[in-house]
Structure 1
Amino acid sequence: MGYRIPVTLGNIEPLAYKPYKPGKIALVCEGGGQRGIFTAGVLDEFQRAGFNPFDLYIGTSAGAQNLSAFVCGQPGYARRVITRYTTSPHFFNPLRFVRGGHLIDLDWLVEETSKNMPLAMDTAEKLLLEGREFLMCACRSDDYTANYFAPTRENWLPVIKASSAIPGFYRMGVELDGVSYQDGGISDAIPVEGGLSPWRGHDRGDPHRAVRHVLHPAVDEAHGAVAERK
């Protein structure tokens, strides 16, 4: 025998369609060297479709390179860097490595790409002025902690190089503000950890300052929602 349920506003309200309204959204891109070409393809499709609802971009190593092309609005950029430049013997050279040099020459890579394929910094600056934020992760050489940089026109390429400086393969670290840094993948290969860290550290008024363990509002809201459900 069934139950009779009166059709009242109180009974049918839970069945009403309520559109999903997301909070802040972060786009996190991992490192991985030439495997980053998969991420490059995904981001190229995002750009082709005009899909960019993100408030925060965080990248490590190849992820930082891919996101640089994304925020600069340059589809195909990261793919060309990977297929044309990182396959060159000027960049990857085992013989040079056994003779005491770098296995991967980041100096050559940054110099050649900035000369032949400069990043569209003006486009990135306009995007970031909308209130969005871009962070690149690099690892301190002294204590191996993850640090997150908000790149500017002046330090963008050095920060990319620091985030990509694989120990041993690129024999010396990259110095930023008197501190040596190496590949961010050492301490935070998939840089969600920094966003979920319980310590706020990012000062929007000083974009040159490296910070440890950034807690961005976009991730803060998501983390709080998960905690409430528990």
Structure 2
Amino acid sequence: MVRVHRDGDSDEAAREAAVEAAADVQPPPAGADGRAASSAAPERDGETASATVSADADGHTVAAEESALAAGAGEEQDAAAREGDAAREEGETATIARHELEQLRRERDEYLDLARRKQAEFENFRRRVARAEADAGVRAKIDLIRDLLPQVDNLERALQVAPEGDPLADGVRMILRGLLNTLEQHGVESFDPSGEPFDPTVHDALSTREVEGVEPGTVVEVVEKGYRLGERIVRPARVVVSG
């Protein structure tokens, strides 16, 4: 019971009344409500802790995402830098290769030009050698023919003075015919310019003679026939020309 103190009581009575009033106050039962009250605080603490952990996790997630984005951006920059370096290297390599190719082409053209000149020089040399060999062969043949022609002339003179029916003349005639056939087989031809205009390139004038009815400068007599080998004069015809 709570005592109600009246006005005028002493201070001691007031203190006693307060003590009694405090004794009359009953503590709450230690039942389910107590447990609920006692567990409510931990739940609130757990929720607060969960919220804190969630906030921390969200913060870590955001930080991780930002770090990943930064790392990705860095990798992209590195990749772009590598691509740029690779492109520059490729460009430099292409430039060097182009210069080297141009140099190789110039060298190729120089070598081809040199090869063509050397080939032309060799062809000219080969033709000169072949011509010299041919000329040497022709000169040797001409020298031999020139040595034989006086013998041909002697045989012809012998036949001119030989009497008719002389058996010796027949033998000389056979020898002369065989010798002339041999010369013809080697391309030697004789020519008789009687009645032709005098040509100093193929005729050798021994003398001049006045002949009526013949124009001056005409061959009136052939002392020795001329001989040629192809286009070359082996021996000019020795003639007498009208004056």
TM-score (normalised: structure 2): 0.23
Task: Using CA pairs under 8 Å that are at least 6 residues apart, name the structure with larger relative contact order, 1 or 2.
Answer: 1
Q: Is the helix fraction higher in 1 or 2? A: 2
Structure showing greater radius of gyration is 2
TM-score (normalised: structure 1): 0.24
